A and B are shown apart, each in its own frame.
Chain A
Amino acid sequence: MKSMKKVEFVIEAVYVNRLIKLFKKHKIYGYTIIKDIEGAGGHGVRTADDVSDAFSNNYVFTVCEAEQFKDMEVDIRKFLEKYGGKCMLIDVMLLLGEKQRQESINLQYSGKVN
């Protein structure tokens, strides 16, 4: 198990590429996108059957180290200010595969990780 931050976004589809750019700026290269989500929020009800992609909402999340999130926080605030959307931060435990777990243990014993 490894303690990480899960950063979730609900944003308009047109801004997804800009969010990905923000991730990359902070050396986050892994993310998941779920397209055409439905629900209601500050902008009223959003359905997924709009003729224009411009107004469909997407759900994007990434998992990163706490330090990485700290570096990114100011940029995320600016992003939300300009483009709207929601950002949720969750503490998660990442379940590692056996090989990754062994590597993590070896790193700890070799004193490279506190």
Chain B
Amino acid sequence: MNFDLILQNMLNPPVLFFFLGMLAVFLKSELTIPQPLPKLFSLYLLIAIGLHGGYELSMSGFNLYIFEALMIAVGMSMLVPIYSFFILKTKMDVYNSIAIAATYGSISAVTFITGITYLGTIGVEYGGFMVASMALMESPAIVIGLVFAALFVKAKDGEEEEKTDWGEILREAFLNPSVFLLVGALLIGILTGEKGWHSMEPLFGTLFKGMLAFFLLDMGLVAARKIHELKKVGFFLIAFALIMPLVNALVATGFAYMFEIHKGDAFLLALLSASASYIAVPAAMRLSVPEANPGLYLPLSLAVTFPFNISLGIPLYYFIINSLWG
């Protein structure tokens, strides 16, 4: 693999801020980002990419190519939790298999944002509709997780089966704040088009990279604090958290190649498939499978897969796609 690709990604200021956050925890610095600022950064990033994606989509329009790319995205978000669940079930109980499979079936918006920043750095174009594919990939894994819970989880002896509050859980799956805001911003971007985007650009375009650096600094702090929890996780799951992203990226790359998806879009599909959720899915899993241990699925996603993806995963997936696409 071309070392330059890794260097270009690692020398991206927001990525370096992520590692700075981690370093602060390792060196026992008192650095913290006071609440509720991290939530503000998260809301900012979702609005920014939603608006920009909507604007791009309003310029390009909707066609068969976009439909195919969106279908690959949805297909991957349904396929990944299914095969992940059966792999995990060979070594783990049903509850944790469901929660971890759903975590890896859904996506990380910040990984996607770091990916598009990387594409900007190396000058590769991508379609604005990819933001829509990201939004579409958030929820199916949660629903698959719920279906597995209904199929495989039986009430314990002597325990009356509790009625599942499907309304609450489906609301969490499809209307959780991340998905709601992202889809809402995307629609506003489509409706207001070029004029709307230019009026919002000073805040949501120009400041974007700086806000991403702030958010990744916080993510670095949070991820590093989760690392000590990995001692309880065990070798199998850590290997899963490192190998599975690559497997998922390769499967997505295969589909993208088959459907002749453009290089930048194919890279983002691979990256989205490789990423794991640490916001939407954990909340939904706490509601639907409270028996699953959050001390497993959250550190895996946040302290193993996320750092791997934004440091080595991004250049690695791009290298594979660039080799195939030429």
Q: Which positions in A face B, CB cutoff 8 Å?
A: 12, 14-15, 17, 36, 43-44, 47-55, 82-84
Contacts and interface: CB of A to CB of B under 8 A. Distances in A.
Contact of A52 (B36, B229, B278, B295): B278
A73 B229 CA distance: 34
B168 A15 contact: no
Given A14-B283, A36-B35, A55-B298, A50 B222 contact: yes
Given A14-B287, A15-B286, A49 B32 contact: yes
7 contacts: A14-B286, A15-B286, A49-B32, A49-B38, A54-B294, A55-B294, A83-B290
B286 A49 contact: no
B144 interface: no
Given A17-B168, A36-B35, A43-B295, A52 B279 contact: yes
A55 B35 CA distance: 14
B22 interface: no
B33 interface: yes
Interface SS, B side: helix
Given A52-B278, A82-B290, A83-B290, A47 B225 contact: yes
A49 B282 contact: no
Contacts of B38: 49, 51
Interface of B: 32-36, 38, 42, 162, 168, 218-219, 221-222, 225, 229, 278-279, 282-283, 285-287, 290, 294-295, 298, 302
A5 to B, nearest CB: 27
B283 to A, nearest CB: 4
Contact of A54 (B42, B222, B283): B283
Nearest to A50: B222
Contacts of B286: 12, 14-15, 54-55
B10 to A, nearest CB: 22
The 5 nearest A-B residue pairs measured at CB: A54-B283, A54-B282, A14-B286, A52-B279, A54-B286
A82 to B, nearest CB: 6
Contacts of A49: 32-35, 38, 218, 221-222
A36 B225 CA distance: 17
A51 B35 CA distance: 10
Nearest to B223: A51
A10 B35 CA distance: 19
B282 A52 contact: yes
B283 A51 contact: no
A29 B294 CA distance: 31
Nearest to B229: A44
A48 B35 contact: yes
Contacts of A36: 35-36
Nearest to A48: B35
Given A14-B287, A15-B286, A51 B278 contact: yes
A44 B222 CA distance: 15
Contacts of B283: 14, 52-54
Contacts of A44: 229
A109 to B, nearest CB: 47
A54 B36 CA distance: 15
Nearest to B282: A54
